[in-house]
Structure 1
């Protein structure tokens, strides 16, 4: 619940001023900053030849935990999309750096690693595989920039996404999903136009 402040005006009337607008702007600015990092990763991935123009950033408590890009070509792994790579890196980091050996073994045995305290920012709307990984890792919030159509327009496959369209697949997830608006969406969509000449997957 947001706080409200009672303000007495010069003529003696009382009004309620809310911090809601300021809070909304702060969230928008925060989202834009992290989405910009994801877009930078998308460019980086193409420039170094690792994979397609997709980037992802995992955030916990307003700090970047990991920033990754598509690694499909470098790893010769069709599942090494930016979002999946980022999730793998966060889980690896948590298991190796922040856990005792016994906890690490328990996590592996029980397979109960989750990222419910994290958010993910993706330069583009996640494909069904990445969306599934986000859902299964229990990430609480997804913010993406470009719509999938921007990737499809330069030749990326939409077969699975097309098959799932209208099935309620995305609506059943228990996470907040937000598409960036304004400048955030625009800079994310520009990635595809600016990199299409440099990137050839096949």
Structure 2
């Protein structure tokens, strides 16, 4: 898949994140699931809106994709997200057989704006069973802008 195509998908994830931020749903996290060049699921963080720590954008995108395909096995799909997935979201991606994950901001970036991700890198790096090149960083600057915008809005975390 070309970088240009991935950038288009990331732009959709960023739009999803801004939508959630403007609605007051949660943090600057948007995601899309793509299969065969088509976005089949999208979601943004809704932790604040739902008072539920499990409604991450990645999980909502996976749920929508699974419903669209009428299948919990998302082999052949990729996930594109504005932030490196939490352990919860990473586990869901592995469970759903997502082929690869592309993310914008790292766990370090996420921790810098106040989210509790500072220890996740150590845990993720210790996972020896992750497929090679499973986690890939793209569009870092574009997602940093999203995070900066979020921080300037002075929202509650999550």
Taking structure 1 as the reference length, the TM-score comes to: 0.71
1:42 paired residue among 3, 14, 17:
17
Shift of the 166–146 alpha-carbon distance from structure 1 to 2, 3 Å rule, reads closer
Match of 1:140 among 57, 76, 99: 99
> How far apart are the structure 1 equivalents of 2:156 and 2:53?
14
Pairwise CA distance, 1:165:
5.0
Q: What does the per-residue CA deviation read over 1:50-93, in whole Å, with 9 as the maximum and x for residues that have no partner?
A: 11110000101101112211111122210101101111122233
Choose which of 37, 42, 55 in structure 2 pairs with 1:67. Answer: 42
1:179 and 2:126 aligned: no
CA contact (8 A) 2:108 2:118 kept: no
Residue 118 of structure 1, CA deviation: 0.9
1:200 is matched with 156
Relative to 1, partners in 2 of residues 1:94 and 1:160: Cα closer, same or farther, differing over 3 Å?
A: farther
Q: Which position in structure 2 is the counterpart of 1:55?
A: 30
The question of 1:190 aligning with 2:145 is answered yes
Q: How many residues align?
A: 156
Q: CA deviation at 1:163?
A: 5.6
- Does the CA-based 8 Å contact 1:56-1:122 persist in structure 2? yes
Report the 3-state secondary structure (helix = DSSP H, G, I; strand = E; otherwise coil) of the residue aligned with 1:67.
Answer: strand
Q: Is the 8 A contact 1:141 1:177 kept in 2?
A: yes
How far off is 1:197 after superposition? Answer: 3.3
Please give the TM-score of this superposition, normalised by the length of structure 2: 0.89
Take 1:166 and 1:140, find their aligned partners in 2: how far apart are those partners? Answer: 18
Partners of 1:147 and 1:189 within 8 A in 2 = no
Return the alpha-carbon distance in structure 2 between the equivalents of residues 88 and 58 of structure 1: 10
CA contact (8 A) 2:107 2:118 kept: no
